[in-house]
Amino acid sequence: MSPGTLWAVVLVASLGCYLLKLAGLSVPAAWVERPWVTRVVTFVPAALLAALVAVQALTSGRDLVVDGRLAGLAVAALALALRAPFIVVLVLAGATGALVHVLTS
């Protein structure tokens, strides 16, 4: 993606996110506070974040790929289950990814 296109993506997505914030302060509450709207908004993050975890850990372009990223993810899941702080989770995942890279290259 060219730098110009990237800038356009950054600016359009930023403007859109700002307008979503502004809309909440500006529209009548009844428009937003419907049961199905709040339900979708509650659960969209779980679906989106899980999809991103899967895609970031297991795909490269249109291929499914197993490499150090999956090992790092498994270690991260274990650390999260043991209630490790965020920074510890990231460091352990990164160290695992680097180790697999060194061992396999």
Near other proteins in 58-77, by CB under 8 A: 58-64, 68-69, 71-73, 75-77
Per-residue string for binding with other proteins, 83-102, x by CB under 8 A?
Answer: ---xx-xx-xxxxxxx-xxx
The footprint of other proteins on residues 11-50 (CB under 8 A) is 11-18, 20-27, 29, 32-33, 35-50
Q: Which residue has the tokens 């679906």?
A: 47
Rounded to whole angstroms, the Cα distance separating 73 from 65 reads: 14
> 100: closest CA among 80, 72, 73?
72
Using CA of residue 60, residue 53, residue 49, residue 14, what is the dihedral sign? Answer: negative
- If one asks whether residue 78 binds other proteins (CB under 8 A), the answer comes out as no
CB of 4 to other proteins, least distance (A): 11
Q: How many residues bind other proteins (CB under 8 A)?
A: 80
Least separation in angstroms between residue 67's CB and other proteins is 8
Q: Which residues fall within 8 angstroms of residue 67, CB to CB, at 6 or more apart?
A: 100, 104
